[in-house]
Amino acid sequence: MVNQVLESLRKQSMLFADLPETVRVPGHGGHPAIDALPLEEASVDDLDLALQDLDHKIAAARQQAVALQRLRDQARIRGAVDSDTLVAIFGREA
């Protein structure tokens, strides 16, 4: 019955097509984290917490991607080619 609600939402609108089966709700206020809360059992507060957790993970991943892009760019500036390793490029500076 509950899965039918989720499937119905997905069919009603393309906006809901990518809804996950479960969400991760981080621990809060003395409550333990829930790694795979079925979406149909999630409260609106659970959704808020899950969104905050995802936003933090996205921001951290973006920061890592930018740092890796900078490192790659510096390697290219130093003349690195595709198969060069970081040790070969930056090893003399360590």
Predicted local confidence at residue 77, as pLDDT: 95
Predicted local confidence at residue 16, as pLDDT: 94
Map 67-84 to HEC letters: HHHHHHHHHHHCCCCCCC
- Report the distance separating Cα 1 and Cα 20, nearest Å: 17
Q: 22 forms bridges with which residues in the sheet?
A: 38
User: What is the percent of the chain with per-residue pLDDT over 90, rounded to a whole number?
Assistant: 80
Kindly indicate the confidence band of residue 1, based on its pLDDT and cuts at 50, 70 and 90: low
The answer to whether the predicted template modeling score (pTM) of the entire model surpasses 0.95 is: no
